[in-house]
Amino acid sequence: MRRLFIILLLLLNFLVSAQTPTLTITTAIAMFLGSAPSLKEIIAFQLPETLEERGAELLTLRREGSLFAEEQAELDEFTQIGLLITQIKAQARLKLAAQK
């Protein structure tokens, strides 16, 4: 499990530009995983409210049919990382249950 987090952290750090001043979903996940969270912290993880709002905004734009290509790429990133987070949380729950 620890090896998975290290690999994910390296992957996310590769995807993140050091010059990006705003918080993106990728940087939020990289910062979280870089803090070496416990299984309970992984399970409880939530994106910062600003990113939750941005995701909702992108979904609204998609429903309205007014997404620009850059916004579609951002929405794709939200979707892919969201699926990855779901899988990581599921694995953390399984591992935590096995410890009991």
What are the C-alpha distances in Å from 50 to residues 25, 28, 32, 34, 37?
10, 11, 15, 20, 21
First CA to last CA distance, the chain: 17
* pLDDT confidence of residue 48: 93
Q: Which of 8-12, 42-46, 64-68, 95-99 bottoms out in mean pLDDT, i.e. has the lowest?
A: 8-12
Read off the pLDDT of residues 52-82 as tens digits, 9 standing for 90 and up. Answer: 999 999 999 999 999 999 999 999 999 999 9
Q: List pLDDT tens digits, range 17-58.
A: 555 457 899 999 999 999 999 999 999 999 999 999 999 999
Q: What is the pLDDT of residue 100?
A: 81
Q: Helix, strand, or coil here: 88?
A: helix
pTM of the model: 0.73
> Given this model, what pLDDT does residue 74 score?
94
Examine the pLDDT at 85 and tell me if it is beyond 70: yes
